[in-house]
Amino acid sequence: MASFSIEDFVGDGVLKELLPKLLEEGWDDVPTLKIMNSEDMGAINLTQHQKDALEIRTYLHDRALMQYGDRLEASKKCLPELLNLSTEDLSSQFGMKRGHIARFTDRINPCTEPLPKSYGLTARKITGTPSRNNSIYKNFESINSNKMQNTAKSFTRSSKNNDRTLEESLADFKIKDGYVFKGIVAAGPAEPRACGCIQPPPVVDNVAPHSAIENISVQKLTPAYKIGMERLIKSMTPPMKASELWRDKPAVFLCIRRPGCIMCRAEAHQLYAKKPIFDALGVQIFAVLHEHIESEVKDFWPRYWGGVVIFDQAMGFFKALGGGKLLKDKFLSGFVFNPRAIANYKRAKAMGLDHNFKGEGEIKGGLFIVGRGGTGIAYQFIERNFGDWAPVAEVIEICAQLQNQQQDHGASSKSPQE
């Protein structure tokens, strides 16, 4: 899986000299840089070679083939020309392995689900007429940033193709003083294991109360990644109450079972790849670890996750997922005899990720979406089987609904004179 380090993304090619300008203009992380379109490129005076290089590297990043970035870029061919080369040419000219050639020429199935492409767009303004409920569109009516407008346009277009919606489930969400979200609890299927001889562990049916997580003591291990920053915070930050993290903005908390786990890395990579959408919605994203092994944090950030990483030493978030107690499973019963976990492993393995076996790996993780202030937990996903992921589309839908309701509350609170 391709790294989220922007230095790894640009390699030693023509984009390397642009790093100071990219930082200055706000294109300072890989997911955001990948949504740059032709007008954005023109605004910072990219040469045609640099435009081609960015398109090539974006394509390679989606297919975990960044090791060929410098060689393909040096050919000074554009992406369509490279895709039209024969297998023999790709092998002889660029040293591409046959399995990698198959992945490179597959234009339909990237290793990671990419953000909607913005290449070739000529108009930056949103020209369609989105529905009144399109919260992303409404958010961007007041934002002048070209980068953010492009995210809105791309996501507006892609959301039309999303078959699954949580609109009915979230119709009664209301942001008002004293209101606590109903919340949604989700988990993977509870399939029998070992021909029914082993039953899957039960999971809670009710979302955790806000009180279960608001006073958890956490420490930041990393900042949000940007170009050229230190790899890690040199000294651990003082402990803070978790509720300070969502005091002003909603937040997503991805509770990582083990940062060296191939399935955990795959989930983190998929979620962080959608960072521009979360930025557009005004939602923060955090990864939560219950164990602090510095070498593991260095391997995990920013390669697989470029957001803030926090340390939950008391495992408060993990206990909240289990209704007050840790959800645990054994390797033999939870993985070897569990077809669902094996399928999850194969899915992650197909993404070409590295992994290791360092650290505690039996404590189940999951995901929380927490509303701003004291409004409560809007969504809780439980890792019933090793490697279960919260569906990214579902997470984004919840965040969009939070933003939509927040804006509706803001509008209704204004006086008639305003």
Q: Is 197 a residue of the active site? A: no
Bridge pairing between strands 308-311 and 251-256: unpaired
Q: Is 195 a residue of the active site? A: no
CA dist 168 → 256, 382, 398 (Å): 30, 21, 11
Catalytic residue among 111, 255, 264, 399: 264
Handedness of CA 402, 407, 410, 412 (dihedral sign): negative
Catalytic residue among 111, 255, 261, 399: 261
Distance, C-alpha 118 to centroid of its chain: 19
Contact between 175 and 409 under an 8 Å Cβ cutoff? The reply is yes
Q: How far apart are CA 250 and CA 239, in angstroms?
A: 20
CA dist 306 → 18, 227, 362 (Å): 20, 11, 25
E-strand spans in 279-370? 284-289, 308-311, 366-370
Burial class (CB in 10 A: 0-12, 13-18, 19+), 111: buried
Q: Which two tokens stand for residue 32?
A: 């955001």
Nearest to 121 by CA among 21, 35, 59, 15: 35
User: Which H or E run contains 336?
Assistant: none
Contact between 88 and 137 under an 8 Å Cβ cutoff? The reply is no
Q: Tally helices (H) and strands (E) across the chain.
A: 18, 8
Active-site annotation, residues: 261, 264
